[in-house]
Structure 1
Amino acid sequence: MKTKRILLGSVAVLGVSGAYAADLPTKKAVPIEYVRICTTYGAGFFYIPGTDTCLRLSGRARFEYGVQGPYNRNPGTATGVGSGDYSGYRGLARINLDARTKTDYGTLRAFLRLEAASRTGIPTFHSTTQIRIGNAYSGTGVDAFGRVQQYFNTDKAFVQFAGFTAGRASSFFDFYAHDFEMIGATAGSDAASTNLVAYTATLGNGFSATLSMEDPSFRRTPIFSAQAAAVTAAAAGNSTAGIFAQTNSLTPIFVGYSADGLPTGVGFVDLIERNRMPDFVGVLRYDQPWGSAQISAAVHELNVGNAALGTFVGTNLGAALSNTNQRGIGRTPTEYGWAVQGGVKINLPFIAPGDTLYLQGAYANGAQLYAGVSAQPGSYIQAVAGIQGAGFTPFFTDAVLNPFTNKMALSESFSVVASLLHYWTPQWRSAFYGSYGENSFAAGARFAQGSFFGLLGTGPGVPGSRYYQLNNILRDNYQIITGASLIWSPVKDLDIGVEGAYFQYGVTSGRVLDLNKLPGQNPAYVNNLANPVRTITNVDAFQARMRVQRDF
């Protein structure tokens, strides 16, 4: 009986509860929209919820360690200041976002790549192609000065639609662009990040043509400035002396002559280039299963700022210079540099799957970065010691301003490069590469600078003197770079590898003063023939780099 009463009571309670529950309002569950895989554009894409846009998120984490011995640890020499580092470190983070949408005009694409990195140590241990302009601030302090850099870079941010590309992207001029290298040392064009707008037309049978309007700022090497000459010659009370301290800024030129042909006045030209006309790039490309081929051409404007009159106290070949009887001078005429490049990529599956050979050559007139001779040491200052503490510093400038004519004389450069990627096994691969490049200054450009500044003890020196014959300023130069790597990929998207590269920089003719042997760069000392000097024809070095990289 007791059990019966309990069961009846439970049924009653449930009945009452059911009645109350039936009276409560019901709330319909919100449908869940699951992330859907997008197969239209390959692996890794998914639909952004609520849209018909496919998105792929990818990235990279990289660690590098490099070793390169310095030439000089003596801070008492010009090239020894700040040198002495043997190793460098670099950590890099990369995030990619690739968004694509089908439209009636084809695929609408937006691509973003953001990079952040930390690098320390040897001055050539930078990002893999060249020292990036405006990319980082050097660390300050007794221990860190110049050796610690942190940077954040918008490496890519472009839109593609109906054949158009607009935004920050790799230059369409480029072809090989150090595809198989860690150090990125070979000569050759590689503007991995520039601002542009371009149109690509598909011509059929594997042919395509591109016309691109590109930002000239990332293709400039400076117009040569004998900056030190202006500073040295300026009188103590000269009101414009402070302006002269700007690197690659005001440089003096003649603005008037007397009846007997002697200079009577000096003006100044601001050599910092302005953004006036974009670079125009044209490309014809051919793609086939065997590989691809490309011909590129570019036009590059060179310009300077306004001319200004100013006081200049000094001497030039015995003639006094002053600001008396000055005549006005017009703007320095604009010049147009140009460049051409041809390259071929050949797939070699008959050797091993994935094997590839690149061959490329380029010539540039007044557009040195399109030939890329200075890509590895850095191209944004006019003279760069690509090897830490080296006794020879090559000059890289697009043009030299003639102080007598106020016209720019354009420099010439060319480069050739070959690079082979070979797979020993699916997990082990190597790259073998080499390049040769030259940079030559216009005939008479060095002589004009020496004639103007010679007796001031700066610039190339007085023509005919021993200092003029032996110093490195505006000397034609060459570079040879070779290297090889070995990379192990034990699992997909993981690379563990090492690379070694040999560098040689030198003058194409004659000898130059060894800047590590004081007082080799002192004109007064060198011009005294009784004093011994040390000279060299080239410098060379070896850099080794280790990398661990995970892509996802």
Structure 2
Amino acid sequence: MKTIKGLILGSAAGILAVGGAQAADLPVKAKAVEYVKVCSLYGAGFYYIPGTDTCVKIGGAIRIDTSFNANNYDTPFWQGGAGGAGAWTQDYYITRQRINLTTDTRTATEYGVVRTYANIQFDFSQNRESIAGGFTEVDYAFIQFAGFTFGKAVSQFDPQWALSKPTISSGFMAGSNNTTGIPQLAYTASFGNGVSGTISLENASPYRNAGLYNNGLALVGPFGASGNTGAYGATSNTFAGNSYGGNHIPDIVGNLRLDQAWGSLHFGAAMHTITPGFYAGSTAHPDDSYGFAVNGAVEFKNLPTGAGDSLKLEASYGKGAAKYAIAGGTTDTSGGGRFAKVSGDSMAFGYVLDGIYGTNGQIEQSEAWSVVGYFEHYWNPAWRTSLWGSYSSISYGDGGNALLAAAFAPGRTIPGSNNGSLVGSTNNFDFGIAQIGTRTAWTPVKNLTLSAEFTYTRLEQNLGGIVTGATVPGRAAQSYSVSDQNLYNGSVQILRSF
């Protein structure tokens, strides 16, 4: 009997144990799934990051470019090398592929919206990368909070339509044109009715420092020697004869803006510091010099010519601040402030510099100015054509021209560095660049655009004379007369944005 009772009790205990184990294995009630929700506060494409009150938009583009009779970015062959020399070894076309990725976050706070933005580019360019290589750049990376902007953003000197120019080319002379951003600390105040003002401290290097020629050093002439690290184009704005010192204080930039449905108005100003290096063979140097620049721009939208049509106009002037007025941004990243073109037995060349100084002298500042205009017409929602033109000019005055002329005196040239002496010259290094161009774009489906453009450029000289003993890439040493030169280039592009 005891045995039977024990079996019954043991069985009951086992059943209870199994029941307890099964109860322990039952799933607990799961938390509600946090689905991604659309954020309608900041426009299309934003979503809430799950579990937060931050909205994010992720986008980008793939861009395929082919340029003809030009360098990368559809920049004319005006900066020496085989293309500027018209040599047999020049490339008749050049290709570039770009992947663009952007992130934009917004969070509403009691101090206003906190925004972060980043734009990263992955490039593969003919003759710059290896077969499976590439190049990464950060065009923008900034934080905005309570009216402040911290980081790499469009310069406050540039008009608000700086990123919507209707062109493919980065080689079009469009004043400041810093479409890859300038490191800055800025504060913007809004006054209502579309009126705002901004004050900014911006990093001048490298885009704002045009170059500073030290006459005590040798200046590389119209064409830098291939493989010579002191030649133009070795690195941005670095060339033999350049004596820019370090960045001691940031540039001070300000603007006033009006944004309306009909378009916009923009007025900008900047103070630019020129910090010189030492005189040749000395520990003394000129005093710091302070240049300035001003600009004005206007945009008209939805013109009577058609829905979506626009007209953009801008004028800039700089004294001791050349790249605020001309040759700014990516236009001259490989030229180091030098423009040069050969055709047959003639050439044109000139320099974009903030200033020039001689031994024991002070800085002679340059003066530069430009005017630029863009008109874009929509034939229908899928087809549009734009026309644009600009004129850019730089001058050095009597003192600056005398110092530049001395650089080409016999005995001052560097053997093998493609200089040459200047004979019978007017010794006037002032020069201008005129450009006109057109682009037609077709958007067959949303966010896919195919376009083609053509640009004509004329380098205008005031110099005259003969350059003797010059060695130009791909050519035998000979003499060249100095005269105006014409350039023609074009580009086609496929752009898919998302």
Regarding TM over 0.5, the answer is yes
Residue 407 of structure 1: SS of its match in structure 2? Answer: coil
- 2:8 aligned partner: none
Instruction: Answer whether contact 1:352 1:423 (CA < 8 A) is retained.
Output: yes
Residue 422 of structure 1: SS of its match in structure 2? Answer: strand
- Mapping for residues 433-512 of structure 1, pairs under 5 Å: 433-451=388-406, 454-458=409-413, 467-470=422-425, 475-507=429-461, 509-512=462-465
The change in CA–CA distance for 1:503 and 1:243 in structure 2 (over 3 A counts) is: closer
Gap runs ≥5 in structure 2:
1-15, 71-75, 221-227, 415-420, 473-477
Instruction: Answer whether contact 2:429 2:463 (CA < 8 A) is retained.
Output: no
Match of 2:210 among 221, 225, 244: 221
Separation of aligned partners in 1, 2:97 and 2:84 = 31
The change in CA–CA distance for 1:78 and 1:448 in structure 2 (over 3 A counts) is: same
TM-score of the aligned structures, taking structure 1 as reference length: 0.73
Instruction: Answer whether contact 1:373 1:413 (CA < 8 A) is retained.
Output: no
**Are 1:181 and 2:167 counterparts?**
yes
Match of 1:172 among 139, 156, 181: 156
Instruction: Answer whether contact 1:219 1:370 (CA < 8 A) is retained.
Output: yes
| 1:295-326 Cα shifts (integer Å, max 9, x gaps) | 1000000012345746xxxxxxxxxxxxxxxx
Aligned length: 448
The change in CA–CA distance for 1:538 and 1:150 in structure 2 (over 3 A counts) is: farther
Q: 1:213: Cα distance to partner?
A: 0.5
Instruction: Answer whether contact 1:225 1:249 (CA < 8 A) is retained.
Output: no
Instruction: Answer whether contact 1:227 1:245 (CA < 8 A) is retained.
Output: no
Aligned CA RMSD, in angstroms, stands at: 3.7
- 1:128 aligned partner: none
Q: 1:421: Cα distance to partner?
A: 1.1
Separation of aligned partners in 2, 1:503 and 1:76 = 18
Q: Pick which of 536-545 and 171-180 moved more.
A: 171-180
Match of 1:293 among 221, 241, 265: 265
Q: 1:66: Cα distance to partner?
A: 1.4
**Are 1:401 and 2:402 counterparts?**
no
The change in CA–CA distance for 1:520 and 1:25 in structure 2 (over 3 A counts) is: closer
**Are 1:117 and 2:117 counterparts?**
no
- Mapping for residues 106-185 of structure 1, pairs under 5 Å: 106-120=112-126, 138=128, 150-175=134-159, 176-177=161-162, 179-184=165-170, 185=172
Residue 41 of structure 2: SS of its match in structure 1? Answer: coil
The change in CA–CA distance for 1:298 and 1:483 in structure 2 (over 3 A counts) is: same
Match of 2:199 among 207, 211, 221: 211
- 1:101 aligned partner: 107
Separation of aligned partners in 2, 1:401 and 1:271 = 9
- 1:331 aligned partner: 285
Counting aligned pairs with the same residue, the percent is: 29
Q: 1:544: Cα distance to partner?
A: 1.4
The change in CA–CA distance for 1:230 and 1:34 in structure 2 (over 3 A counts) is: closer
Separation of aligned partners in 2, 1:230 and 1:536 = 18
Instruction: Answer whether contact 1:207 1:284 (CA < 8 A) is retained.
Output: yes
The change in CA–CA distance for 1:109 and 1:212 in structure 2 (over 3 A counts) is: same
The change in CA–CA distance for 1:39 and 1:442 in structure 2 (over 3 A counts) is: same
Separation of aligned partners in 1, 2:305 and 2:21 = 76
Residue 385 of structure 1: SS of its match in structure 2? Answer: strand
Match of 1:88 among 81, 91, 94: 94
Q: Work out which structure has the larger RCO, using CA pairs closer than 8 Å and 6 or more positions apart in sequence.
A: 2
Residue 40 of structure 1: SS of its match in structure 2? Answer: coil
Instruction: Answer whether contact 2:84 2:342 (CA < 8 A) is retained.
Output: no
Residue 426 of structure 1: SS of its match in structure 2? Answer: coil
- 2:305 aligned partner: 351
The change in CA–CA distance for 1:448 and 1:543 in structure 2 (over 3 A counts) is: closer
Instruction: Answer whether contact 2:201 2:253 (CA < 8 A) is retained.
Output: yes
The change in CA–CA distance for 1:52 and 1:338 in structure 2 (over 3 A counts) is: same
